[in-house]
Amino acid sequence: MFGRFTHADQEICAYSNMGVSITYAELDRSSRNFAAYLQKSLGLRQGERVALMMPNLLQYPVALFGVLRAGLVVVNINPQYTAAELEHQLKDSGAVAIVVLENFEQTLQKVLDKNPPLSLTVITTEVGDMFSPVKRLLTNTVVKHIKKMVPKWTIGGITPFNVALRVGHQQDLDEVPLGHNDLAFLQYTGGTTGVAKAAALTHGSLVANVQQMTAWMARDLVDGKEVFVCPLPLYHVYALTFSLVFMKLGARTVLVTNPRDMHAYIQDLKRYPFTIIIGVNTLYRALLDAPGFADVDTGALKVTSAGGMAVQRVVAERWKKRTGVTIIEGYGMTEASPIVIANTLDTEEWTGAIGIPIPSTQALILDESDNELAAGEVGEICVRGPQVMQGYWNCPEETSKVFTADGWLRTGDMGFMDERGYFTLTDRKKDMIIVSGFKVFPNQIEDIVALHPGVAEVVAIGVQDDRSGELVKIVVVKRDPALTEQVLLAHCRQHMTSYKMPRIVEFRSEPLPKSNLGKILRRELRDGAAAALVP
């Protein structure tokens, strides 16, 4: 299954990061060596779990494919997690080893110090470990001693990543027969809404989604010629699956380590004639607002994909005007590997729809009693397809809650299907605001507010109210310092009915809280608003 490369015998560039590239052949050799080390030096057996805790670096695909080639299971971990979040995932997954960037070793140390019995082999890496010797030394020195990005840590018995590769080079690799039902990833989800659960994704479900998306997107793509810019972290399933799709096409994947460093990100865009780019709404807006983006040549761009959160009209229109390419919005969830619905590549203009089901995928709208709703009626989006997970790891009760009796996966997202079969996402079920019995979808409010040129960022949340149950509150970061509440509300009155109108406006000077993917953390703001109401 995954880990075997059709381009391994070619000197085609596979991944680039910070100006350094590795070919498919080099990726094949390095991942083979890492797999051999896991099998022979660590004695890991098929099905055991290995955690990866690092941002987009060349080490990531090497470690990822090494784990899979050894017949093991990848546990992707957000390196920004707190010690408590990391502890939960390590214990819940039963990980026996972890590959961690040393910048985050201090967090791991806290977990290990708190849990002395926790048996975990630690393989540590530094930012520049896959670079040439001179650049590696310079990069690691700057990161550690000049920028001081590595907090002090002390963990005994660790193995440096490059040592593991050298040792594995001297060892044989046992080929592991893998089938569609063999587990490939434990991909955690739900961490922003409760205790994180792991979606059990098999080799079959990932292969299915890669094949589905390859068929969906390959219209204008040329094997071995595309350049894919990946600013989203590979530990997130959206970026992970897209990277696998474009690897299948022999593309060069440009890994952006920190897209919030807009200067470095734009330098990457200038360095490579990119043909494909993915992102979320907030990241596209940040690019459009960055002065240096005006100098980026987008003449080779063929595909712009967006997911993770709704794309706002103003962002879609600005992107099309700047690049000439439409943002193709899609929809998915971790539990479905992740893509289930998407717009077609020939979409000319932003419509607000998330598209139609991709090949071999079914989707419908169900009410709270699991009855199918007619076109135009809002309910919960439910899906079926070969890309859907087996269930949640060690959570049979949670698994039973998320599937209907006849096997439809409940997405937890509200939306509707029009007469053409196109789906539109309204909002997360749990984010819906109920005002005097009327349903208000935050995405719709945010889209209208964001149209005002004086707004840089906005999020809409519901706050408790004795009379109406809930009120709409908007939290706004200004683009124009002169913007007032009165002006903004006058703008809203032109575009929305009275019950949808924001009743509370809060201006903030700092950017809104976001996940590492760039999604605004609505729950964090909602919880803060609720706490403020407690006397």
Q: Is the pLDDT of residue 535 over 90?
A: no
Query: What is the phi/psi pair of residue 501, to 5°?
Result: -60, 135
Q: Shortest CA distance to 485 belongs to which of 468, 496, 473?
A: 473
Query: Region 126-155: what's the mean pLDDT?
Result: 96
Average pLDDT over residues 288-317: 93
Question: Which has more pLDDT, 467 or 17?
Answer: 17
Q: How many CA atoms lie within 13 A of 424 on its CB side?
A: 17
Instruction: Give residue limits of the domains in the chain.
Output: 23-178, 205-428, 432-533
User: Is the predicted pLDDT of residue 427 greater than 80, yes or no?
Assistant: no
Q: Which pLDDT band holds residue 2 (cuts at 50, 70, 90)?
A: low
Tell me the pLDDT band of 81, cut-offs 50, 70 and 90.
Answer: confident
**pLDDT mean over 230-255:** 95
For the chain, what percent of residues have pLDDT higher than 70?
95
Q: Tell me what percent of the residues of the chain surpass a pLDDT of 90.
A: 79
Cα three-residue angle 23-277-129, rounded to 5 degrees? 40
pLDDT tens track for 260-297: 899 999 999 999 999 999 998 889 999 999 999 999 99
Amino acid letter for position 364: L
Mean pLDDT, the chain, whole residue set:
92
User: Which residue did the predictor score with more confidence, 160 or 9?
Assistant: 160
73: amino acid identity, one letter? V
pLDDT in tens, 336-351: 999 999 999 999 998 8
What CATH architecture is 432-533? 2-Layer Sandwich (3.30)
| pLDDT above 80: residue 195 | no
434: pLDDT strictly greater than 90: no
Nearest to 189 by CA among 87, 289, 68, 336: 336
Instruction: Find the mean pLDDT for residues 363-370.
Output: 95
Q: pLDDT at position 80, please?
A: 87
Compare 535 and 485 and report the one with higher pLDDT: 485
Pairing of strands 339-342, 362-366: unpaired
Q: Which residues pair with 327 in a beta bridge?
A: 304
Pick the CATH number of 23-178 from 3.40.50.980, 3.50.50.60, 3.30.420.40, 3.40.109.10: 3.40.50.980
Asked if pLDDT for residue 190 goes beyond 80, the answer is no
Residue 7 in this model has a pLDDT that exceeds 60? no
Confidence (pLDDT) at 4? 52
- Whether the pLDDT of residue 183 is over 80: the answer is yes
Task: Identify the pLDDT of residue 401.
Answer: 92
Provide the pLDDT for residue 460.
Answer: 93
> Do 205-428 and 23-178 fall under one CATH topology?
yes
Query: How far is Cα of residue 176 from the mean position of the Cα atoms in its chain?
Result: 29
Instruction: Kindly indicate the confidence band of residue 5, based on its pLDDT and cuts at 50, 70 and 90.
Output: low
Would you say residue 517 has pLDDT above 80? no
126 pLDDT band, cuts 50/70/90, is very high
Q: What is the mean pLDDT of residues 507-525?
A: 86
Kindly write down the DSSP assignment for every residue of 135-157, as one continuous string. Answer: HHHHHHHIIIIIS--S-----TT
| pLDDT for the residue 529 | 60
- Please name the residue that has the structure tokens 């209208």: 448
- For residues 523 and 185, what is the distance between their CA atoms, to the nearest angstrom? 27
Cα separation, 310 vs 425, in Å, equals 8
| Per CATH, domain 205-428 is 3.40.50.12780 | yes
Q: Taking a C-beta distance cutoff of 8 angstroms, is the pair 209, 203 a contact?
A: no
Q: How many CB atoms lie within 10 A of CB 381?
A: 29
Q: DSSP of 277-324, one letter per residue? A: EEE-HHHHHHHHHSGGGGG---TT--EEEE-SSPPPHHHHHHHHHHHS
Evaluate if residue 533 carries a pLDDT over 60. Answer: no
pTM score, two decimals? 0.85
How many helices (H) and strands (E) the chain has is answered by 15, 25
Question: pLDDT at residue 437 above 80?
Answer: no
Residue 79: asked if its preceding bond is cis (omega within 30°), the reply is no
**CB contact at 8 A, 49 and 17:** no
| Chain centroid, CA 280 distance in Å | 9
Name the amino acid, one letter, at 529.
A
